[in-house]
Amino acid sequence: MNIGFIGLGNMGGPMAANLAKAGHVVTGFDMADVSIEGVKMAETAAEVAKGADVVITMLPNGNILRAVAGDIIPAMSQGAALVDCSTVDVDSARAVAQQASDANLLSVDAPVSGGIGGAAGGTLTFMAGGSPAAFAKAEPLFDIMGQKAVHCGDAGAGQAAKICNNMVLGVTMIATCEAFALADKLGLDRQKMFDVVSTSSGYSWSMNAYCPAPGVGPQSPADNDYQPGFAADLMLKDLRLSQQAAESADADTPMGELAQALYTQFVESEDGQGKDFSAMLPRFEKRGRS
């Protein structure tokens, strides 16, 4: 395919490189001056879109996505597909999908899970929303950039799945960190705590696969001074999206709301900026009951 790729940062760059390595013709655009192996760089986003079978975007937020869509959709050929892999608000995803449909284009909102390592290794998971025809067109590319793609439903469903998943993740990580901090103060050995919880009803991804306690469980950012695998800043972004969606849908999400408040405090008023989202554990270690 002829593929356009807009947004060649830490995630988009390696994703585009993997498509080029697989033999696709990839033309890229980014506001920064970047060079990606196998990718021909264009002067504008609209130039990327001309003649492309698929245009993939990986952008910071919904406002930027809407602006880029306004530039590229008029330049795209009828029947081409716009595949947005950004994590944005559901309303923006649906608005762009409607704009694409009005122009006789296919569209997929397909946020990803797997981080920078998954982007480089081609092991991302894609959560996709859009028509069956749009998903079918994008699926061969998902197979190159990732290890799994789930068609979650119509436009916006991919974003909804990502936001709900990460709300669960944020809440469970806070609970996991609280539990370790409490175990410390009760004199319970962390390894014993892990051995019990990881094999009983407290089992979770936050505990078993991404344990926030250094030296306990599999290797995780906790073992690297909480250098980010998934930054607290990004968790805060996703929790804010979850609460924006909850407001729009009139959904009661008190735990998600509290998780957003705690990560806001951690990132903006404490020392969480630039750290992994599991660095909540040393935060709780230092605090008493207030």
Closest CA to 13 of 119, 143, 138, 121: 119
3-class state of residue 237 by DSSP: helix
Question: First and final CA of the chain: distance in angstroms?
Answer: 59
Contact (Cβ atoms closer than 8 angstroms) between residue 128 and residue 158: yes
Contact (Cβ atoms closer than 8 angstroms) between residue 179 and residue 206: no
Residues linked to residue 81 through DSSP beta bridges, in sequence order: 54, 106
Contact (Cβ atoms closer than 8 angstroms) between residue 65 and residue 57: yes
Query: Cα 134 to the chain's mean position, in Å?
Result: 21
Amino acid in position 197? V
Contact (Cβ atoms closer than 8 angstroms) between residue 241 and residue 88: yes
Q: Is 162 a catalytic residue?
A: yes
The DSSP output letter for 77 is P
17 CB-near residues (< 8 Å, 6+ apart): 36, 37, 38, 39
User: Residues 40, 148, 162, 275: which is the catalytic one?
Assistant: 162
Query: Cα 73 to the chain's mean position, in Å?
Result: 24
3-class state of residue 220 by DSSP: coil
1 CB-near residues (< 8 Å, 6+ apart): 24, 25, 53, 54, 141
Report residue 171 as tokens: 């809440």
Closest CA to 217 of 202, 201, 195: 195
List active site positions: 162
